[in-house]
Amino acid sequence: MNRFIMAISASLMATGVAQAEVTEEDLRNDQTITTQVVTNGMGRHLQRYSPLDTLNRDNVQNLMPAWAFSLGGEKQRGQETQPLIYDGIMYITGSYSRLYAIDVMTGEELWQYDARLPEGILPCCDVINRGAAIYRDKIYFGTLDARLVALDLKTGDVVWRDKIGDYKAGYSYTAAPLIVNGLIITGNSGGEFGIVGEVQARDAETGDIVWTRPVIEGHMGTLNGEESTMTGTLNATWPGDMWKTGGGATWLGGSYDADTDTLVFGTGNPAPWNSHLRNAGTPTEGNVGDNLYAASRLGIDPATGEIKWHFQTTPREGWDFDGVNEVVAFTGSDGNKYFGTADRNGFFYVLNREDGSFVAAHPFVSDITWAAGIDENGRPIFNEDNRPGDPTAAADGNKGEIIFAVPSFLGGKNWMPMAYSQHTGLFYVPSNEWGMDIWNEPITYKEGAAYLGAGFTIKPLFEDHIGSLKAIDPMTGEIKWEFQNPAPLWGGVMTTAGGLVFTGTPEGRFIAFDDETGEELWSFQTGSGIVGQPVTWEQDGEQFVSVISGWGGAVPLWGGEVAKQVSFLNQGGTLWTFKLPRQLAGNN
């Protein structure tokens, strides 16, 4: 235990002063309690909006570094964490399943936890971790060997750890957990290995499982240690036994809508990618071949794990268009309550917050090829010629017809979180303009082996840019402004009441934009690519901003021609914290 932490703990015990604890009320009001950040998404609705306006368009040029913290060692892979701040301490996760506690004013390390991963882990898309969760006197995070760990918030000592899935079968975990009413709620990762997507809820104090909800039809949920209900209807939209290894990983975690008391989780691609193996019908036969509930958004009862509603963005999915992208609760310009979600398939969807029903969809990237549009029921109007071909129809039976699809399998938008501004009513969506050559291949399931049944090569659409940050009106789909970047955008976005939008680039630039015009107002070179998630808070009357820098993630591993274009980018692992000094807050 760090000496500084030991001294604090001993002093508090001696004086009888109770240590601070994060309550359900703290989680519920995280967006408005501006001295802390205790939830992923700066609020469980994931708006990533701060009501702080001390830092604003007029003074952001005075934002300056306060301190920097190196994650150290040789583990310089992708750093996608979102910092949490509570009671004078910042908590971040790092690659290879590490967690750090840092003095928020000085940048001094207080303690570090290393999960000591076993040999044979099977992470799909880099050894990243996207953050932790705090509740009461504990901090929780998941590990690449598919475990959930609860640590003492002050000391970093392990309180309990539990198994989410079997890493030898391809399960892993990378998302920040979600906490609602004393339950810690997690998804799972591993969709490229024929696992089954699931949401699990545990008692945050003990780690005991309260309920589980598989997201592929035919699998049985549990409640309080007993079977509850089956997900969907067996073989309704899956042929034969394909549902048993059906994919649908819930790898990005979920959000919580307090107004309707609903968890909202997205689900990944069905397995395998070769959709002809999973095809129990054609689009003209209703939903026979939809492969529910993969590539969908699910509304889940947080108390029981029962599915309240579902909305499938890509039925009979065959391009790796995971439906996991975050679902953000917002109030529209018409005063009604909606969900907004920017799908990997290139369309931005607006859903009814009461029942998840379809309201509208708008394309947010260029030249989408797989669908001609979205119909009045929210179903895609498929371009059948842009479905990768059936290998069994080929002369040699080894490779189906190659097609060029847009977006690429890394998506019009991937994991990188967008932000919604209550100031402008706009979503700020980090997106990428790219396509892919893709073809299907024969495949059979083998535990712990990749289960794709497809090959692919990603290619950029334009010569001058791939990344595109877009300000989108969710009600009309109008793109109000756009920032184009040569390399793909892979980091999170944050917006504030001060009229600012923050994000970073793989080239290392941390940038603040005008939220109404897109004008670049400030930037700072961090020394490595930014694929992390910025946050802001106030401390002693001054506003601070933090972001982690460290290039990596899926693009260098899976990016094809794009990966070659960005191979010169430096890896790293540095947490940067900036502040607006009090004496400069009023300067123009």
- 135-154: pLDDT as tens digits: 999 999 999 999 999 999 99
| Cβ–Cβ < 8 Å for 358, 302 | no
Residue range 250-278: average pLDDT?
A: 96
| 389-401: pLDDT as tens digits | 999 888 787 899 9
Residue 75: pLDDT over 70: no
Query: What does the pLDDT read at residue 159?
Result: 98
**What are the catalytic residues?**
320
Q: Is 324 helix (H, G, I), strand (E, B) or coil?
A: coil
225 CB burial (10 A radius; 0-12, 13-18, 19+): exposed
Residue range 503-527: average pLDDT?
A: 98
Band of the pLDDT at 11, cuts 50, 70, 90? very low
Residue 73: pLDDT over 80: no
Query: What does the pLDDT read at residue 567?
Result: 85
Residue 16: pLDDT over 60: no
Torsion of CA 576, 340, 559, 244, to 10 degrees: 120
| 164-182: pLDDT as tens digits | 999 999 999 999 999 999 9
Residue range 525-542: average pLDDT?
A: 96
Band of the pLDDT at 564, cuts 50, 70, 90? confident
Band of the pLDDT at 562, cuts 50, 70, 90? confident
| 440-452: pLDDT as tens digits | 999 999 999 999 9
Band of the pLDDT at 536, cuts 50, 70, 90? very high
Residue 12: pLDDT over 70: no
Asked which of 25-39, 447-461, 574-588 is least confident by mean pLDDT, the reply is 574-588
586 CB burial (10 A radius; 0-12, 13-18, 19+): exposed
DSSP of 80-138? ----EEETTEEEEEETTTEEEEEETTT--EEEEEE--PPTT---SS-S-----EEEBTE
Query: What does the pLDDT read at residue 166?
Result: 96
Residue range 67-74: average pLDDT?
A: 86
Query: What does the pLDDT read at residue 507?
Result: 96
Residue 19: pLDDT over 90: no
Pairwise CA distance, residues 310 & 351, whole Å: 11
Pairwise CA distance, residues 432 & 416, whole Å: 11
Residue 6: pLDDT over 50: no
* Average pLDDT score over the chain: 93
Residue range 90-115: average pLDDT?
A: 96
Query: Which residue type sits at 55?
Result: L
How far is the first Cα of the chain from the last one, in angstroms, to the nearest whole number? 45
Predicted model pTM: 0.95
Could you tell me how far CA 444 lies from the centroid of its own chain? 29
Residue range 209-236: average pLDDT?
A: 97
Residue 2: pLDDT over 70: no
Residue 89: pLDDT over 80: yes
Residue 4: pLDDT over 50: no
| 332-385: pLDDT as tens digits | 999 999 999 999 999 999 999 999 999 999 999 999 999 999 999 999 999 999
Hey, how many other C-beta atoms are within 10 angstroms of the C-beta on 461? 16
H helix runs in 294-370, sequence order: none
The matching CATH number, chosen from 2.30.40.10, 3.40.50.1220, 2.140.10.10, 3.30.230.70, for 21-584 is: 2.140.10.10
